[in-house]
């Protein structure tokens, strides 16, 4: 992996770790996952070891196989369910807010999460 021109972003590295966790949580080997999804073993291995980034279509396909929302794959399997449900609910609320109210809402959320106030 050394000498690679485009190292993975922190988000991509997190996804890479979580893809492995999702596969193992289902007691699947890379070989079995390849059989179930139709992806090449080398592709799946590359996603998990960080030598290859996962495309959006592939992420959606994996999420469908696991029976989860694609955003769930950005989290550990044991954390995803309730968090994804809240994210979907929050997204529905955010869609109904104008820009000013959305900023207020985000500020309140940041405060509740313990983030320092923005100046």
The whole-angstrom separation of Cα 68 and Cα 60 is: 9
Tell me what pLDDT residue 60 has. Answer: 94
Tell me what pLDDT residue 28 has. Answer: 96
Tell me what pLDDT residue 20 has. Answer: 94
Tell me what pLDDT residue 23 has. Answer: 95
Q: What is the largest CA-CA distance in the chain?
A: 52
Between the two ends of the chain, the Cα-to-Cα distance in Å is: 41
Tell me what pLDDT residue 59 has. Answer: 93
* Domains defined for the chain, CATH in brackets: 10-112 (1.10.260.40)
Q: Write the CA distances from 68 to 1, 10, 42, 115, integer angstroms.
A: 30, 22, 24, 29
pLDDT in tens, the chain (119 residues): 444 445 778 888 888 889 999 999 999 999 999 999 999 999 999 999 888 888 999 999 999 999 998 989 988 888 887 888 888 888 889 899 999 999 998 899 889 989 887 76
The whole-angstrom separation of Cα 81 and Cα 75 is: 9
């Amino acid at each position: 992996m050394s000498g690679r021109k485009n190292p993975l972003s922190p988000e991509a590295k997190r996804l890479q770790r979580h893809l492995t966790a999702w596969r193992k949580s289902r007691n699947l080997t890379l070989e079995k996952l390849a059989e179930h999804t139709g992806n090449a073993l080398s592709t799946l291995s590359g996603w998990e070891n960080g030598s290859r980034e996962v495309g959006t279509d592939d992420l959606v396909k994996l999420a469908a196989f696991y029976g989860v929302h694609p955003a769930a794959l950005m989290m550990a399997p044991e954390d995803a369910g309730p968090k994804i449900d809240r994210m979907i609910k929050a997204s529905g609320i955010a869609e109904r807010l104008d820009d000013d109210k959305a900023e207020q809402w985000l500020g309140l959320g940041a405060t509740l999460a313990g983030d320092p106030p923005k100046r």
